[in-house]
Chain A
Amino acid sequence: MIVGTSVAGVRAAQALRRNGGEDEILLVGAESHLPYDKPCLSKGMLSGAVAPEKNCLLTESAAAELGIRTALSQRAVGLDPEAAVLHTTAGRIPYDRLVIATGASARTLPWSDLPGVHSLRTRADCEALRADLRRGSRLVVVGGGFIGCEVAATARGLGLDVTIVEPEATLLPVAGPELGALAGEWHAGHGARVRVGEAVRAIVRAGGGLVVELRGGEVLDADCVVLGIGAVPNTGWLEGSGLDIADGIACDAWGRVHCHENVLAAGDVARWQDPVSGTARRVEHWTNATEQAAVVGKVLAGASDVAAHRVNTYVWSDQYDRTMSFVGRRACATRVTRFDDPRKNGVAFVGADEQGGLAFAAVVNWPRALLAVRKAINGGVPCAVVEEQLTPAA
């Protein structure tokens, strides 16, 4: 049984089948829609370029073909791992083995429930936001991380008046100040207002619209506000189950939940042990979720030689006509060097750690550089080697 019908849950089921597992599979999910993918919610589906039915991770026929049963509109509300029973809003379901893939929810602010204030995590969120974007003309995005910046870019594409408010000194703070400064330039160049180093003090309804008050005293009028301030793992339903759920469910490097051999977890909800550093981390990126699901599927199918999964911090983001990608951790880099692709406005920032290893890289519109840094970070290639690959031949 798999709880959570998004990319980690669906891919785990597919991987189990691909590896020859013949168990009955039941996919249990809180939402009423067939499984859909999230990245599209801030991009194509929000702009209207992608119809909702095109964004489907598992069609009914694909599920039937793989022998996967779905139980939609059923929320898990409790787990008894000793008795191997899942409690849902529709009753109790016993299981032999359980995969937890309940992902994360958007973090909220005290003003989240005001009409016109949105978060963006589910298809329903996306549809509600899209409807508001079509009605209003002024959007304030609270939080200049990946999702906030994507919503801002999509909304500019729809012709809205957009302001991004980010408390750190640049946009995309996790990707480092170098990429953040560039992103600030693109957003300004596309007509979005960028307020960095500014936090929100209050949001109030006034007349038919909203007023966003900033700490510095500035007041922004808006028809619609989007909160892009991060996500929290969906582990509330596991209170009392005895599982270690401090910042995500604690697992080993194969997704096996500590002390509960029939329970595995993958994706945004899971905190996997990294086999090299020995520390456990939760990652909120698509590729990590699919890779973890592939490992879990193999483990479930009984494959003997499954390699321990290395935490993967690759994330991409599409904003305007730019595709940017980011690997590793900026905080671990002690020296960052910029490279430019002479042909195509490509940019790469490469960060070395104290030992000269590749700690981090951010790449914009430069596929070959992306491939080079992704391979290097997995293979432990020294930073100097990567830098040489990115230097144009004289």
Chain B
Amino acid sequence: MAAIRADRALCAGYANCVMTAETYFELDDDGHVEVRRDEVPEKDRELVAEAVEACPVAALRIEG
């Protein structure tokens, strides 16, 4: 199964990832991304990949 990697230091809280894939991402009170579920089943891969591409500062990656 693929996994999500988030670089919280890069994240600027634009929330594009949350808007694209709310079941996988949320923002904490400081406006940093929090990954709600690390593992991405094949059926959601496209959705998560779209969220990764929606991040303006390339803080997200999908591995595997």
Q: With the chains together, A367 CA to B31 CA distance in Å? A: 5
- Give chain A residues whose Cβ lies under 8 Å from the Cβ of B31: 323, 365-368, 370
Nearest CB of chain A from residue B21's CB, rounded to whole Å = 12
**Chain B positions within 8 Å of A39 at CB level:** 56
| Contact present for B46 and A19 (CB under 8 Å) | yes
Q: Does A375 contact B (CB under 8 A)?
A: yes
Contact between A367 and B16 (Cβ–Cβ < 8 Å)? no
Contacts of A370 in B (CB 8 A): 13-15, 31
- Interface assignment of B53: CB less than 8 Å from any CB of chain A: yes
Total chain B interface residues with beta-carbon distance under 8 A: 17
Is there a chain B Cβ closer than 8 Å to A187's Cβ?
no
Q: Which of A10-18, A98-106, A237-245, A272-280 contacts B (4 or more CB under 8 A)?
A: A10-18
The docked-state distance in angstroms from the alpha carbon of A378 to that of B22 is: 14
Q: Are B50 and A323 in contact (CB under 8 A)?
A: no
Q: How many A-B residue pairs have CB under 8 A?
A: 53
Q: Are A11 and B53 in contact (CB under 8 A)?
A: yes
Beta-carbon nearest neighbor of B30 in chain A: A367
A371 touches B27 (CB 8 A): yes
List CB contacts (< 8 Å) of B2-57 with chain A.
12-16, 18-19, 27, 29-31, 46, 49-50, 53-54, 56
Looking at A11, A343, A371, the one whose CB has the most chain B CB atoms below 10 A away is A371
1/0 contact trace for A352-394 toward B, CB 8 Å?
Answer: 0000000000000111101100110010000000000000000
A368 and B56: CB pair below 8 A? no
Number of A residues, CB within 8 Å of B = 26
In the bound assembly, the distance between CA atoms of A381 and B16 in angstroms comes to 19
A170 at the interface (CB under 8 A from B): no
Nearest B residue to A290 via CB reads B54
Residue in B12, B15, B30, B54 whose CB lies within 8 Å of A374: B15
Pick the contact of B53: A14, A318, A375 (CB < 8 A): A14
CB neighbours (8 Å) of A365 from chain B are 31
How many whole Å from A143's CB to the nearest CB in chain B?
23
Which one of B19, B27, B49, B56 contacts A367 once the chains associate, using CB atoms below 8 Å?
B27
User: Residue of A at shortest CB range from B12?
Assistant: A323
Give bound CA distance, A81 to B51, whole Å.
Answer: 33
**B-facing residues in A16-52 (Cβ within 8 Å):** 18-19, 37, 39
> Is A316 touching B49 in the complex (CB atoms < 8 A)?
no
User: Which residues in B have their C-beta under 8 angstroms from that of A323?
Assistant: 12-14, 31
A-B contact pairs, 16 of them (CB 8 A): A11-B53, A18-B46, A18-B50, A39-B56, A287-B54, A290-B16, A316-B56, A323-B14, A323-B31, A325-B14, A366-B31, A367-B13, A367-B30, A370-B13, A370-B14, A371-B27
Query: Contact residues of A with B, CB < 8 Å?
Result: 11, 14-15, 18-19, 37, 39, 286-287, 290-291, 294, 316, 318, 323, 325, 343, 365-368, 370-371, 374-375, 378
